[in-house]
A and B are shown apart, each in its own frame.
Chain A
Amino acid sequence: MKKRPGLASMFAVYRRELLSYLTTPTAYVFVAVFLFAIGLFTFQVGGFFESRRADLTGFFAFHPWLFMVFLPAVAMRLWAEESRSGAIELLMTLPAPTWSLVLGKFLAAWTVAAAALVLTVPLWATVNALGAPDNAAIFTGYLASLLMAGAYIAIGSAMSALTQAQIVAFVLAVFASFLLTALGLPLVLDFFSSVVSGGVAEAIARFSILHHFDAAQRGVVELRSVFYFVSLIALCLSFTALAVDARRGG
């Protein structure tokens, strides 16, 4: 009668969470606004047509900055809403391992992000109609973007586990995401190099999301960057599980 207990729980949580995204307007609004914003940035700010090049670099360049705001909004309800409504008590008195709940919720939010990415396919079709882009590089870009989205959602999930208020989870997640993204920016780097030696500042930059996303934008999948995003996700989800389990202590 029983499947592997943890996996069955994970899929049950995943389905419920995804259904909840589909039956409430929030996810649709976020995806729609994200698509509008990415279009605006790509065409207006990124100069998609003016650059007269058939590629999507102008499109991908804005992903970290948009994800940083949109994905915390998708992830903010994951745990905060459970605590506010009290349903967390129900969830935590079911004989399911904590990791299965954490992973199920994370995967559902990641699916929403993936759906938003899939809906940008018309842009890809446009560059292919206009010229002959390097489709392998574009594919790599999408892959890197998807991994990066996972990292932002994992950060959002961790912040959501800390509070009952979705808006607090959102603000904390945007802040944490900004720090982690901007570590690689000259602005922040300059600050660090004024405090610590250049070598250390360089090392700090290597921990930034931007650093690893940019590497992937050059069309090569660096194992290092894949490893970076996967570890970041694992780290944030472990933190989420710890924060959720800490409730049992009162």
Chain B
Amino acid sequence: MLLQVDGLRKSFGRRTAVDGIGFALDVGEIVGFLGPNGAGKTTTMRMIAGYLEPDEGTARIFNIDVAQDRRRAQERVGYLPEGAPLYGEMTPWSFLRFVAETRGMSREAARHAVRRAAQDARLGDTIDRPIETLSKGYRRRVGLAAALLHDPMLLILDEPTDGLDPNQRHAVRDLIRRLGEERGLIISTHSLEEVEAVCTRAIVIDQGRIVADKTPAALREEHGSLERAFAALTRGEERV
């Protein structure tokens, strides 16, 4: 199994962000995390990526427990944090080199990996321009390239198309579909249309729990439309 998540729980102070999430993911699956803001999507992804330690439960990547053997697990994951934070003063080329070398690659291997990831993410001739001068769409692609550098089997992308214009969104979705053919992917999104367009499976999360785990088609069939499914499964009230 590529990823096995069991009973993940995480609280911040008195607020329970993730309250017993469990699911499994195989190669070839593209899972979409759906849910209102504050439902626990980002916290779950952060625990799988090894940024946060769970209070309870485990996430295992190829049977490696992320909390127990963090670095070995992280070698197998590519992660795009929400908003794709980058170092603005660097160029994509130097930024990607930095990420590759911090991952422990030799200079030669890093050069090779950067060239391949830049091609996969279609960075084109932006590779030598300071990141802070790039458009949002290209910045997101730089973040994606950074997640792809070590050719991981598992990709976790937190809102990969958020804030992009329709053309950029289209390009990133194409990329996600292509990547999903021989890897396992988890993406979080607010766009129901995106789940239909790229995901093989939708996991709806509300108040830290999974309330549905089905194919987008099955969800639609049950509720008439994905919008209705979303409204019926998650509580409407806004959380701070």
| Chain A residues with a Cβ under 8 A of chain B | 1-3, 5, 8-9, 11-13, 15-16, 19-20, 23-24, 85-87, 89-97, 248-250
Interface residues of B: mostly helix, strand, loop or mixed? mixed
Contact sample, A vs B, 22 pairs, CB 8 Å cutoff: A1-B105, A2-B104, A3-B104, A5-B71, A8-B104, A9-B101, A12-B101, A15-B101, A20-B89, A87-B87, A89-B46, A90-B79, A91-B102, A93-B50, A93-B77, A93-B79, A94-B74, A95-B74, A249-B52, A249-B53, A250-B52, A250-B53
Q: Which residue of A lies closest to B86 (CB)?
A: A87
Nearest-neighbor residue (CB-CB) of A20 within chain B: B89
Interface string of B73-87 (1 = CB under 8 A from A): 011010101110111
* Shortest Cβ distance from residue A20 to the other chain B in the assembled complex, whole angstroms: 6
How far apart are the CA atoms of A27 and B75 in the complex, in Å?
34
In the assembled complex, the Cα of A16 lies from the Cα of B94 at a distance in Å of 9
| Interface pair B103/A93, CB less than 8 Å apart | no
Report the separation of the CA atoms of residues A122 and B46 in the bound assembly, to the nearest whole angstrom. Answer: 52
Nearest-neighbour CB distance to chain B for A4, whole angstroms, equals: 8
B81 and A90 within 8 A (CB): yes
Please give 6 more A-B residue pairs, beta carbons under 8 A apart, in addition to A20-B87, A87-B85, A92-B50.
A1-B109, A19-B90, A85-B85, A89-B81, A92-B51, A94-B99
Residues of B contacting A87 in the complex (Cβ-Cβ under 8 angstroms): 85-87
Chain B positions 93 through 108: 1 when the CB is less than 8 Å from some CB of chain A, otherwise 0: 0100011011111100
- Minimum CB distance partner of B48 in chain A: A93
Enumerate chain B residues within 8 angstroms of A96, measured Cβ to Cβ: 71, 102-104
The CA-CA distance from A5 to B105 in the complex, in Å, is 8
* Cross-chain contact A13 with B102 (CB below 8 angstroms): yes
**In the complex, B10 has a CB within 8 A of chain A:** yes
Chain A min CB distance to B113 (Å): 10
Interface size counted on chain B using CB atoms at 8 A: 35
Given A93-B51, A250-B52, is A86 in contact with B102 using a C-beta cutoff of 8 Å?
A: no
Mask of B42-68 contacts with A, CB within 8 angstroms, 1/0: 000010011111000000000000000
| A101: nearest chain-B partner, CB-CB | B102
Contact status A2-B106, CB under 8 Å: yes
- Across the interface, do A94 and B102 meet the contact criterion of CB distance under 8 Å? yes
Closest chain-B Cβ to A196's Cβ sits at a distance in Å of: 40
Could you tell me the distance in whole angstroms from the C-beta of A234 to the nearest C-beta in chain B? 23
Nearest Cβ on chain B to A92's Cβ, whole angstroms: 5
| Smallest beta-carbon distance A101→chain B, Å | 8
Kindly report which residue of chain A lies nearest to residue B158, judged by CB atoms: A89
On chain B, the residues within 8 Å of A9 by CB distance are 101-104
CA distance A250 to B87 in the complex (A): 23
Bound-state CA distance A23–B49 (Å) is: 31
